Structure 1
């Protein structure tokens, strides 16, 4: 098949995250299986217009919003060279069904209601939520949709998507355990983009409230983003700047070493489609404490087995403190986390995606007035 992913960003973009990793890992696997794969996304400062991603063609053009019309225009111009389009909907859709009857698959990691409210608490957020809640389900009402967790599937059904057209393709995870050794002193980590809805400030609050019991507690924040200045100010407000390191974006090897040294990872995000960071920590034998109501995180974390789910900030603090104090339970969780992470592979993810793509492929899909 000739497959094109229309996506907002790639993993080199300053705002790139788990959604971009999903697209690129699946694209690589599809290429290894003999498919011709292209990713069309926005171009960030310093990025080239075109790149090769292990055989996958990566095309970058447009900015935060202009990427959408430019990608759709490109799709119209190259309509005869594409068998199936994966329209990656991160809040806003590309609108591929406007120019194709068939050969379109949507990919939605999660519903963004809380994100719209947090990032744009004004008319922009209300408009974005209107588009996602009303226009997108109507436009994609006959389109097969991929998502990454049962929780996201249920949320999509709640805003009008047809459950029969929804397929769950859970994230895989790469990497292998590194021999870094646990830190001799209590150390926790957060692996996330630095954006408001990741609520990294909650991890600062955890450190602040546990310092009396663990005066040498340290937090490693792995990741970068436009919210970093606000987080630096929050560090001062919480009085924990000496106990927190904002590492920024790190190479995978350094990221894995820090995760392997951590006693626990915290994921205080408002909402996640799945929570790839949970599995990346699990590969290193590090349990995760996250919020129960954060969507797919409640599936990525096996509560009580590979980590724990908290109900609110007070509960997050309490559970983190209890696990820091219980070495045997924490180690047992880490062992189970490693075992469970081995069951999530990108090959298995691509199996599901490939099956859905094959079911929608057509060589006569464009709305040109011809019979199809």
Structure 2
């Protein structure tokens, strides 16, 4: 099949995150299975407008909002009309593909963004964004099959009117062939955060935990892995809390460096307000590092088995207590580490791609049938 993903960013975008990793991993494996795959996303400094990576054609144009107009306009071109399936990646805002295509559209939704809208835009823009996502999008895509990454996200979609029968869950995987050699755990306690530096990841909560534990946990350090437009605010918060000397902001790093930092840590904190699945959890578990995050995030209740591979907690005080418990109990860390690594081995991008391909096949066949009618 000829497949185009319409998405707002690619994995190398400065604001790229787990959603973009998911698209890239699936796209590469679809190419390996014989499909022709293009990913259309926003442009950014230093990125070519067109390149091919691992067989996937990347075409970049438009900015934060105009990427949606560019994607929609593409569907009017000969190439756009020739696509068997358009995967409309909905990260809060849709590309509105059903306006131009009656058949051959598949929606990909990682999670809903109600909390993010109110955090980033605490005014009419946030209310408008949530109105579009929760009211307009379900109506516009009412006949479009949907792929999402967790049962929790599927339940959220049902709550805004998406038919459960239209939703397929295809979880995040892991590229086991790309794993680096095991790295020794740090001899001194280390906490790690792997996330985009944006407000709704609430990395401030990890900084607060560090400030509370610094006196009772000798040698404690925090590694923040990732970058984003909230970086300076986090640096300022670390200074305000008096922990600047205990925090290292690593920014974007390559995969081997990411794995080394995850493997060295005793525990990962992921205090996000919302996660579809939390690919960082899987990456950490592959290195034997357990994760603690919030129950309200939704997806972490599936990617973290509470008390078995990590902990999901209710609030900041419980986050602190769980972190102190893990840091102070070597036997507990070992149990969480062993079981987390075992379960991570069960997740594989090849399996995810196979499931995704099945969803694509159904959509592609429906388009052929629609053409015949």
Q: TM-score, normalised by structure 1?
A: 0.97
* SS of alignment partner, residue 157 of structure 1: helix
Cα distance in 1 for partners of 2:82, 2:5 equals: 13
Cα distance in 2 for partners of 1:21, 1:332 equals: 29
Cα distance in 1 for partners of 2:354, 2:366 equals: 22
CA-CA distance at 1:79 after TM superposition: 3.4
CA-CA distance at 1:293 after TM superposition: 1.2
Q: How does 1:128-139 map to 2 (within 5 A)?
A: 128-139=129-140
Question: Any stretches of 5+ residues in structure 2 without a counterpart?
Answer: none
Preserved contact between residue 99 and residue 366 of structure 1 (Cα < 8 Å): no
| Structure 2 residue aligned with 1:33 | 33
| Structure 2 residue aligned with 1:190 | 193
| Structure 2 residue aligned with 1:42 | 42
Q: What is the root-mean-square deviation of aligned Cα atoms in Å?
A: 1.4
Preserved contact between residue 219 and residue 245 of structure 1 (Cα < 8 Å): yes
* SS of alignment partner, residue 171 of structure 1: coil
Question: Any stretches of 5+ residues in structure 1 without a counterpart?
Answer: none
| Structure 1 residue aligned with 2:171 | 170
| Structure 2 residue aligned with 1:85 | 86
Preserved contact between residue 177 and residue 285 of structure 1 (Cα < 8 Å): no
Preserved contact between residue 135 and residue 160 of structure 2 (Cα < 8 Å): yes
Cα distance in 2 for partners of 1:160, 1:178 equals: 46
From the superposition, tell whether residues 149 and 363 of structure 1 become closer, same or farther in structure 2 (CA, over 3 Å).
closer
1:357 aligns with 2:360: yes
| Structure 2 residue aligned with 1:315 | 318
Preserved contact between residue 178 and residue 256 of structure 1 (Cα < 8 Å): no
| Structure 2 residue aligned with 1:274 | 277
| Structure 1 residue aligned with 2:333 | 330
| Structure 2 residue aligned with 1:264 | 267
Cα distance in 1 for partners of 2:369, 2:40 equals: 18
| Structure 1 residue aligned with 2:144 | 143
| Structure 2 residue aligned with 1:21 | 21
Preserved contact between residue 100 and residue 366 of structure 1 (Cα < 8 Å): no
User: How many residue pairs were aligned?
Assistant: 370
1:292 aligns with 2:295: yes
CA-CA distance at 1:290 after TM superposition: 0.7
CA-CA distance at 1:236 after TM superposition: 1.0
From the superposition, tell whether residues 297 and 167 of structure 1 become closer, same or farther in structure 2 (CA, over 3 Å).
same
Q: TM-score, normalised by structure 2?
A: 0.97
From the superposition, tell whether residues 100 and 365 of structure 1 become closer, same or farther in structure 2 (CA, over 3 Å).
farther
Cα distance in 2 for partners of 1:147, 1:33 equals: 21
CA offsets 1:14-60 (integer angstroms, 9 cap, x no match): 00000000000000000000000000000011110011110010100
* SS of alignment partner, residue 330 of structure 1: helix
1:158 aligns with 2:155: no
